[in-house]
């Protein structure tokens, strides 16, 4: 394990929380701004939080996987759509800032120990989990987790998903729900992790409302505030021994990022960008 990258004193907010044993709650993330905000949210609520941070996949790894799963034409269309998403983000910077300012709950963070693990399915990750022996493992934005990693410790792995499972599994679920005219199923889910893609048993989920000016660049910012509240609730349920799951009577479908032609069509014809 690497040395802790953050050893700051707990914030005043954190000091008001019930202290957690160091390592009792572990968060595994892949990095990025949204992951940083998730760390801040949970650090405030669980001062003993330990973060295991994996290296994100390279662009070439993502491209190869998409070609393997969807074929070269769809993969190319998704790559081109990625450039359009960046333009959408640039045009929506004011809205993104507005969302951040309206969600101050992650503004102050308690001290978090951050350990680099390379890959969530690496021996380094499994060894770190075994040494920490957490009671709850929260997941945000990592690779698909292997059964070997899930079996590394006797603790539930709990994933935050920015969509309503099982109907909108996979990527950009709020975008696809809005494309489908299914706003009541545009929301967030917290669920147990199994070896599938967002197929674990549901614990909590909630609809999220978006502003008319939201688009694919801001949906997840809007969802994060609601999602972190639910994720925190689940972690407390685990620590208090009252975790419960439930069945959701919805069809199951796995979604992928839109291609550039899907994105332009849906934006032009349905007003969903």
| Domain positions in the chain | 12-270
pLDDT tens-digit series, residues 216-232:
999 999 999 899 999 99
Q: How far is CA 128 from CA 121, 132, 134, 187, in A?
A: 11, 6, 10, 32
pLDDT 10s digits, 148-193: 999 999 999 999 999 999 999 999 999 999 999 999 999 999 999 9
Cα→Cα distances 63→32, 60, 141, Å? 19, 5, 17
Cβ proximity of 42 and 231 under 8 Å: yes
Residue 164 has a pLDDT of 97
Q: How is residue 57 annotated by DSSP?
A: P
Q: Classify residue 234 as exposed, middle or buried by CB count within 10 Å of its CB (0-12, 13-18, 19+).
A: buried
Measured between alpha carbons, how far is 254 from 86 in angstroms, rounded to an integer? Answer: 24
**Average pLDDT for the chain:** 86
CATH number of the domain at 12-270, out of 3.40.718.10, 3.30.465.10, 3.40.640.10, 3.40.50.12230? 3.40.50.12230
Arithmetic mean of pLDDT, 33-39:
90
What mean pLDDT comes out for the span 227-243?
A: 95
> Is the per-residue pLDDT at 243 higher than 90?
yes
Enter the pTM of the model. 0.83
Give the tens place of pLDDT for each residue, 95-133. 767 776 666 555 455 546 899 999 999 999 999 999 999
Tell me: pLDDT of 21 over 90.
no
Q: Cβ neighbours of residue 69 under 8 Å, at least 6 residues apart? A: 256
Q: How do 25-29 and 50-54 pair as beta strands?
A: parallel
- Residue 212's pLDDT is 87
């Amino acid at each position: 394990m690497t040395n802790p990258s953050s050893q700051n004193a707990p914030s005043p907010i954190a000091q008001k929380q019930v202290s957690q044993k160091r390592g009792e709650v572990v968060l595994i993330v892949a990095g990025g701004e949204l992951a940083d905000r998730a760390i801040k949210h949970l650090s405030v609520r669980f001062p003993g939080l330990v973060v295991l941070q994996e290296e994100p996949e390279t662009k070439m790894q993502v491209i190869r996987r998409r070609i393997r799963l969807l074929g070269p034409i769809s993969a190319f269309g998704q790559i081109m759509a990625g450039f359009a998403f960046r333009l959408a983000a640039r045009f929506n910077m004011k809205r993104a800032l507005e969302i951040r300012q309206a969600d101050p709950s992650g503004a102050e963070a308690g001290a978090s120990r951050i350990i680099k693990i390379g890959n969530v399915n690496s021996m380094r990750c499994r060894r770190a989990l075994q040494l920490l022996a957490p009671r709850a493992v929260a997941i945000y934005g990592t690779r698909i987790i292997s059964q070997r990693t899930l079996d590394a410790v006797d603790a539930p792995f709990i994933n935050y998903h920015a969509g309503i499972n099982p109907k909108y599994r996979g990527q950009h679920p709020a975008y696809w729900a809005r494309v489908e005219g299914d706003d009541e199923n545009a929301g967030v889910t917290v669920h147990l992790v199994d070896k599938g893609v967002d197929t674990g048993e549901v614990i909590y989920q909630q609809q999220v409302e978006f502003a008319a000016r939201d688009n694919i660049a801001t949906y997840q910012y809007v969802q994060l505030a609601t999602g972190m509240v639910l994720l925190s609730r689940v972690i407390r349920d685990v620590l208090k021994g009252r975790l419960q799951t439930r069945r959701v009577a919805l069809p199951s479908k796995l979604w992928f990022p839109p291609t550039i032609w899907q994105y332009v069509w849906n934006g032009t014809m349905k007003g969903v960008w």
